Amino acid sequence: MPDGAASLRHRPHGVLAVFGPYNFPGHLPNGHIVPALLAGNTIIFKPSELTPWSGEAVMRLWQQAGLLPGVLNLVQGGRETGQALSALEDLDGLLFTGSANTGYQLHRQLSGQPEKILALEMGGNNPLIIDEVADIDAAVHLTIQSAFVTAGQRCTPLAHRPAFLRPPFIAEKWNAGRCISCSPGCRQPAVNAGHLG
């Protein structure tokens, strides 16, 4: 802009709610918490009702790091707590990681309030198409690993339709899948996936 002046101003949005997921509960909420704090916002953090202790641990770590009291606040509870929190009139935004059903509900609830930030991270679908593979054993191994690592409790496993897979791959995958051992990760010999109790 040779003949003009430009300026860039950053300002906090205000009070943001962060709803954390049950999978990777000590990690994924920070994808919302850290940028919100860096931008100068105050946060109300509601971890998943399935992982309340992880939420407590996240709070302790932030306190130990020197975050001032009242900047990051913890609220525990389930659906009713989330609904009450998302309905707060003074809330300036909501940052959510979780199921598509809950995300759609939050979208409908906040759709008439364009002044509020709404960030939704809702699952994933990573399609797998196998055509010709030079190393079928490696392809099978990586496919199974994607499906079963973390006992399948991720939003990013590979999903596939048999129509997109070649018969040799399907046969190899079937044989390899039958050999998967599931038990707690501390067992020996090594296991392929943990189980859900």
Q: Domain residue spans in the chain?
A: 15-122, 126-177
Instruction: Please tell me the pTM assigned to this model.
Output: 0.74
Structure tokens at 91: 């809330």
108 or 197, which is more confident: 108
Q: Are 166 and 131 in contact (CB under 8 A)?
A: yes
Fold of 15-122: Aldehyde Dehydrogenase; Chain A, domain 1 (3.40.605)
State which amino acid sits at residue 90. D
Task: Indicate if 121 belongs to the active site.
Answer: yes
pLDDT, tens digit, for every residue of 89-104? 999 999 999 989 999 9
**Which pLDDT belongs to residue 197?**
42
Q: Are 39 and 119 in contact (CB under 8 A)?
A: no
175 or 80, which is more confident: 80
Per-residue pLDDT, averaged over 28-50, amounts to: 96
Strands 117-122 and 42-46: unpaired
**How many Å apart are CA 79 and CA 74, to the nearest integer?**
15
Q: How confident is the model at residue 117 (pLDDT cuts 50, 70, 90)?
A: very high
Distances (CA, A) of 41 to 7, 33, 36, 157, 185: 21, 9, 5, 33, 39
Which residue is catalytic, options 49, 56, 115, 121?
A: 121
**How many Å apart are CA 63 and CA 73, to the nearest integer?**
10
